[in-house]
């Protein structure tokens, strides 16, 4: 198989779900793409996977929304920066509690979605399947899993620039971007 063929198939499927069935949103086992617009040194298109059996879907495209790293990073309880998460998207780190618990904490703070980055910073290729815990709780906001290396690089860039958040566009339809113009993180192969 051609290396780019798998990405093209995933991208076309995502486009069909978002374009042909806008009320349906994303389904299971798909990829969702977002682009960091600022800071400029990480202005790349990142790949994330939606939670398997909990959380909402992206029915709206956000051209510019803040990606706010949670404080504390694991977001297992009250947040020190919860006021900044309201109406934005939170960047959370895996560990300490279930994926669903993290999603509910962000939802309770008014977040529109949560991106949970793996706490294995060297992980640049293995996606974790985020599943419901055994509590029978629910969450309404979208929950996405991000590779550890990607989450680390985003947080590191924000720290280096002294910024409280990144500006992102989500979801991004990668089928509309010519391959030669796609700005992928140099540390990740698609």
The residue-averaged pLDDT of 24-46 equals 81
87-129 pLDDT tens trace: 999 999 999 999 999 999 999 999 999 999 999 998 888 888 8
What is the reported pLDDT for 14?
43
140-169 pLDDT tens trace: 999 999 999 999 999 999 999 999 999 999
Architecture of domain 33-181: 3-Layer(bba) Sandwich (3.50)
b/e per residue 6-45 (b: at least 16 CB within 10 A): ebeebbebbeebbeeeeeebbeeeebbbbbbbbeeebebb
Domain boundaries, the chain: 33-181
């Amino acid at each position: 198989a051609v290396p780019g063929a798998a990405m093209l198939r995933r991208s076309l499927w995502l486009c069909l779900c978002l374009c042909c069935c806008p009320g349906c949103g994303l389904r299971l086992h798909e990829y969702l793409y977002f682009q960091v617009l600022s800071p400029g040194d990480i202005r790349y298109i990142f790949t994330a996977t939606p939670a398997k059996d909990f959380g909402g879907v992206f029915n709206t495209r956000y051209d510019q929304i803040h990606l706010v790293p949670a404080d504390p990073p694991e977001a297992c309880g009250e947040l020190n920066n919860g006021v900044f998460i309201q109406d934005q998207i939170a960047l959370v780190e895996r560990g300490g509690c279930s994926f669903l618990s993290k999603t509910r904490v962000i939802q309770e703070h008014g977040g529109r979605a949560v991106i949970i980055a793996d706490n294995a910073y060297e992980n640049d290729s293995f996606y974790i399947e985020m599943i419901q815990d055994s509590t029978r709780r629910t969450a309404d906001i979208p929950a996405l899993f991000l590779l550890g290396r990607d989450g680390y690089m985003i947080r590191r860039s924000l720290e280096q620039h002294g910024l409280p958040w990144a500006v992102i566009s989500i979801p991004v339809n990668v089928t509309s971007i010519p391959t030669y113009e796609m700005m992928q993180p140099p540390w990740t192969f698609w």
